[in-house]
Every structure is written in C-alpha cells, then in structure tokens.
A and B are shown apart, each in its own frame.
Chain A
Amino acid sequence: AQTVTQSQPEMSVQEAETVTLSCTYDTSENNYYLFWYKQPPSRQMILVIRQEAYKQQNATENRFSVNFQKAAKSFSLKISDSQLGDTAMYFCAFMKHWNNDMRFGAGTRLTVKP
C-alpha cells in the first residue's frame, strides 16, 4: 500500500519569505501522480500543484513550485514570496496512474506571519 509522510506538523514563515514543505512517499509503482492541496480554515480543499511522475521537469504554478526527486521518493513544495493568505493546512497526496484511490499525508500547518 502506498503511504505518504509529511514530517513537519507545523511551520511558520515571515511574509514575503520562502518556505519549503517536505513530503515523502512509499510506492512500488512507476506511474503515478503527486499533489499538494491547501486547506484554509474554511476547510475547502484547494489544489495547489500537481506533478506527473513520468515528467522529469518540476511543476510550477506562480509562486508555488515543487522539487520532485523520483528516486528518493520525495516531493517538496516551495512557496516563494509568502503571503498572509497562504496560511493553511497543506496536504501532500499520491495517486496511482489509472486509479482514483488518493492517499494523503497527515498535513503541515503553515502560518505566515506579518
């Protein structure tokens, strides 16, 4: 079974600075997808960024980028120029190719301080 581990229960960062959230996963699959979801206090799950395992290039979405290390099974999220609105829980998730069974990590609570 696939497992996803987020080793940082809580993190904080000053506004406008950069922060990196860690995620590791365990799988024997070769084709899969990785995601970062943001959950603000409203509880809405919002997709931040997605990475296909077969792509070597790291995904980027504006201020959000990932460092995908397939051999190391690592998938970290970098948030640049942090904003107060980035304060939320962040979940890393894994999904096998051709399968809708998504596995989530326990989450990292990020606080952006003014």
Chain B
Amino acid sequence: NAGVTQTPKFQVLKTGQSMTLQCAQDMNHEYMSWYRQDPGMGLRLIHYSVGAGITDQGEVPNGYNVSRSTTEDFPLRLLSAAPSQTSVYFCASSSDRGQETQYFGPGTRLLVL
C-alpha cells in the first residue's frame, strides 16, 4: 500500500490564481481530512469527509472547497489564492470515525506570492 499520497510536493502561485491539491489513499478509509500547518502553530483542520459524497467544514474552511466523489480521492481547491494561504497542507485518512488513528500524507508546501 502507498498509504496517503499528495501532489504536488511544492507549488508557487500568484495571488488570485486557482489550483487543486490532490490527495489519494489506497487503504479504503472512509474518513479523510485536510489540514494546514503554519509556522509556530499546530495543524488546523480545513475540511473533512466521512465518506464519498459527504463533506463538512473544519476550523478554518474559508477560501477552500472540497469534494469527495470517490472513497480514494479528496482534492482541496483554492479558488482565488491569497498570500495568507501560504502554508504546508496535509491530507489524512482514517478507517473509522474518531476511533482510529489518522494517517497523514507527506504534505504539500504552497507559496502564494
């Protein structure tokens, strides 16, 4: 199993551009989440999904959209990038709601100029 994979590893955007961060898992996990990590802070939850077709907002959802059309994939979309979205983004998955450990991808470093 590859576990949780994320692409790209690093991206530079200009303010106002849009992009999609990809996340995929091959463990048949129902639950997937997106976090951002800013310097000096822990990870903060952006959006999460409890299964295909179901998504919900986390602690810091503004400026981001998500969808979950399949169990395996959970892309994160930035519609109009802002410098405040410069961060490291982590995707995570788990097999059961709140009962199992979340497994994290390697992260995507995003720089918005």
Which of A's residues lie within 8 Å of B, judged by CB?
4, 33, 35, 37, 42-45, 47, 50, 91, 93, 95-107
Contacts and interface: CB of A to CB of B under 8 A. Distances in A.
Given A43-B88, A43-B107, A45-B90, A100 B33 contact: yes
Nearest to A43: B107
A29 to B, nearest CB: 11
B104 interface: yes
A35 B102 CA distance: 10
Nearest to A37: B104
Given A43-B88, A91-B42, A104-B43, A97 B98 contact: yes
Contact of B101 (A4, A50, A107): A50
Contact of A101 (B40, B58, B103): B58
B40 A91 contact: no
Contact of A102 (B33, B88, B103, B107): B33
Nearest to A39: B37
B59 A101 contact: yes
Contacts of B103: 47
A37 B102 CA distance: 10
